[in-house]
Structure 1
Amino acid sequence: MLRQILIQTPVYVWAILAFLVYRGMVASKDRLVNYPSVFIIPAVMLVLGLQSITRGFGLETLAGAAWLAGALIGAGLAYTFTGPITVDRAAGVVMQRGSWLPLTLMMAIFCCKYAVAVTVAIQPALSGEPRFAVPVCLAFGLFNGIFLGRLMRTVAAWMMSSTIARYAA
């Protein structure tokens, strides 16, 4: 059965996995990043998460509400617990500290999406079952929220550096 699942997995899924692993490895090292680039991974992960929820469960359902609740909780936690962020607004860069958290989150999201897709392909009725849909969507929301909270923290640091620079001049 596992062999059949792997064979029937579209090739683009493996390309997405390779991209996520690559980006996760890059994120494990300290680096200077152009400010617009900090939006890429959170945006990709948000699109993937919303796509899963919309296609599999619907945004206007209890599952959609669970996703939103998870996203709010995850964003709040990440915003609160993300350490200081160094920005150089004049150079247009953000110093991103190396961390394995992005790779861990991306792999968790990928594995959850893959497992849910396989499960729903085998048992389509589960997508309408709240005992399945709500926890899945809550988990996706938490993952997406963590990316968004880290992004919000970076944007806040960027905006604060602009404010400080204006008042210092």
Structure 2
Amino acid sequence: MIVEIVKHTPLWVFVLFVFLIILGLQQSKQRTVKKFLLLPLPIGMAFLSYYGVFSSFGLSPVSSGLWLFALVSVTYFSGKYFPAKGVEFSTETGYINIPGSWVPLLLMMAIFFSKYLVAVLSTLQPSIVLSAGFMIFCTLLYGAFSGVFVARAMSMWGKKQNHIVKKI
């Protein structure tokens, strides 16, 4: 059964998987970036997770609202209680030094495999995907994953802002 599922998986899904692995491995290493390079990853992952909501459950106020609620809630609580550590801003270069972390790779894989599982279930067991409980669970999960990405980026961006405020 697993072999049949993989055989019927479109090629672009494998390309996306490899791309996410490479991106996640890059995030695991210490790097120095311009502040604007903090934005593409959380924006991209939020888009991917919302696409999962939209493609699986349609564009409804309920699914969109639940996704947004989870994203905002997790962004707030994750940013407040689990800020990015070890991030340093250099006033000389204008770059942000970010220690490596495996968290982005884990989150990317969680979003990817969640979306993949929902796609497989929608083909094999569509009644499960159509249930309200499943929709609520998935949309909250997708939003929560995105919220962690957004919180990490905001926390890192905040290191730069805090440095500027302290300097003044």
Distance 1:89 1:60, change over 3 A: farther
Return the TM-score normalized by structure 1: 0.88
1:60 aligns with 2:60: yes
Correspondence for 1:157 = 159
Correspondence for 2:76 = 76
The one-letter code sitting in structure 1 at the alignment partner of 2:7 is: I
Alpha-carbon offset, residue 158 of structure 1? 2.1
Alpha-carbon offset, residue 25 of structure 1? 1.1
The one-letter code sitting in structure 2 at the alignment partner of 1:29 is: K
Paired with 1:58 and 1:96, the residues of 2 have a C-alpha distance of 37
Distance 1:52 1:89, change over 3 A: farther
Do the aligned partners of 1:57 and 1:64 also contact (CA within 8 Å) in 2?
Answer: no
Correspondence for 1:46 = 46
Q: Aligned to 1:82, what secondary structure does the other structure show?
A: coil
The one-letter code sitting in structure 2 at the alignment partner of 1:62 is: V
Paired with 2:45 and 2:6, the residues of 1 have a C-alpha distance of 23
Q: Which runs of 5+ in 1 are unaligned?
A: none
Correspondence for 1:6 = 6
Do the aligned partners of 1:66 and 1:135 also contact (CA within 8 Å) in 2?
Answer: no
Correspondence for 2:149 = 147
Q: Which runs of 5+ in 2 are unaligned?
A: none
Do the aligned partners of 2:57 and 2:63 also contact (CA within 8 Å) in 1?
Answer: yes
Do the aligned partners of 1:62 and 1:130 also contact (CA within 8 Å) in 2?
Answer: no
Alpha-carbon offset, residue 32 of structure 1? 0.9
Paired with 1:20 and 1:8, the residues of 2 have a C-alpha distance of 20
Do the aligned partners of 1:66 and 1:137 also contact (CA within 8 Å) in 2?
Answer: yes
Do the aligned partners of 2:118 and 2:129 also contact (CA within 8 Å) in 1?
Answer: no
Calculate percent identity across the aligned residue pairs. 29
Alpha-carbon offset, residue 89 of structure 1? 4.3
Paired with 2:91 and 2:59, the residues of 1 have a C-alpha distance of 37
Paired with 1:61 and 1:123, the residues of 2 have a C-alpha distance of 24
| Within-5 A mapping of 1:97-112 | 97-112=99-114
Correspondence for 2:138 = 136
Correspondence for 1:16 = 16
Alpha-carbon offset, residue 57 of structure 1? 1.4
Alpha-carbon offset, residue 75 of structure 1? 0.7
What do the CA deviations read for 1:24-72 (whole angstroms, capped 9, x no partner)? 1111122112222111211110110111112221343433222122112
Paired with 1:121 and 1:64, the residues of 2 have a C-alpha distance of 22
Distance 1:13 1:89, change over 3 A: farther
